[in-house]
Amino acid sequence: MHLINADLHCHSDVSDGTLTPERLAERAHRNGVELWALTDHDEVGGQRRARDAARAQGLDYLTGTEISVTFAGKTVHIVGLGFDADDAQLNQGLRATRGGRELRARDMAAGLARVGIPGAYEGALGYVGNPELISRTHFARHLVEIGHCADMSEVFRRYLTEGKPGFVEHRWATLGDAVRWVTQAGGVAVIAHPGRYGFTPNEEFALFTEFRGHGGRGVEVVTGSHTVAEYGKYADMALEFDLLASRGSDFHSPEESRTDLGRLPDLPGKLTPVWEALEHRVHRA
């Protein structure tokens, strides 16, 4: 159970990935994944399709989502795994979290128009698979397509991050709400890619401590968003905070993602994988 190829973080076109849940399931299977979770941002609309597609591929499946949270003035992502996707409170919380995206997108487009990039809202919409889930990624694809930037990371650097013309401050879910929605729906909450937030050590300590206090139980250690040094750092943090460890590529697209589904190093052996605590929640193929 420890060394299975689990990939518990990726995105379909139900959020900001480019592949359908069915194509992701095929790709995961082809790449040797044995336990899979689709974790679309703030959305569980693809869960039934993902579970059915996983079964068709002979792939074990855990439900998933990645919830946007505001903590210490920054956006933090909380992955939920193994919950009941029909849970009313979870669905209502996610719907409320998605609800701000439309206005935010219009404000982003207004900011871009002020620096000479008109029509970005309509352009981004051309990449959106789910009208409730317009994200910065869709704007970035549009800006690359029209030749403003060479690649996605240049768009984020120049236009879509704090202080840049297309960035809009936004208040997402609270940490406590996100953890409770997942936990009360029978799942396990996991801090996604902690190495990505740029927190000071004090802020990071506060995040882990408060997350534990709300009932959060896991942390991503091996993710496409971490460096090798961060695998070690967050393995130590998992032990220090007595957290289960997760592993996931954060795959979005064959053209854009550096890490493909299932192509990650194993978790360090001293850790307890999050899937060991979720055996009873796995949908067996």
Residue 226 touches which of ligand AMP, Mn ion, none (CB < 5 to 8 A by kind)? none
| From 250, 264, 274, 275, residue interacting with Mn ion (rule: CB under 5 A) | 250
Burial of 172 (0-12, 13-18, 19+ CB in 10 A): buried
150 Rama sector, left if φ>0, alpha if ψ -120 to 50, beta otherwise: alpha
Is 16 a binding residue for ligand AMP by CB under 6 A? The answer is yes
Identify which of residues 16 and 60 has a Cβ nearer to Mn ion in the complex: 16
| From 6, 7, 12, 16, residue interacting with Mn ion (rule: CB under 5 A) | 16
Kindly identify the residues of this chain, within the stretch 125-154, that bind ligand AMP according to CB under 6 A. Answer: 135-137, 152-153
Least distance between ligand AMP and beta carbon 136 (Å): 4
Identify which of residues 239 and 260 has a Cβ nearer to Mn ion in the complex: 260
Residue 40 touches which of Mn ion, ligand AMP, none (CB < 5 to 8 A by kind)? none
Is 108 a binding residue for ligand AMP by CB under 6 A? The answer is no
| From 36, 83, 156, 251, residue interacting with ligand AMP (rule: CB under 6 A) | 156
Residue 43 touches which of ligand AMP, Mn ion, none (CB < 5 to 8 A by kind)? none
Residue 246 touches which of Mn ion, ligand AMP, none (CB < 5 to 8 A by kind)? none
Identify which of residues 53 and 78 has a Cβ nearer to Mn ion in the complex: 78
Is 252 a binding residue for ligand AMP by CB under 6 A? The answer is yes
Kindly identify the residues of this chain, within the stretch 21-60, that bind ligand AMP according to CB under 6 A. Answer: 41
Identify which of residues 29 and 226 has a Cβ nearer to ligand AMP in the complex: 226
Least distance between Mn ion and beta carbon 135 (Å): 6
> Where do contacts with ligand AMP occur on this chain (CB under 6 A)?
16, 41, 68, 135-137, 152-153, 156, 252
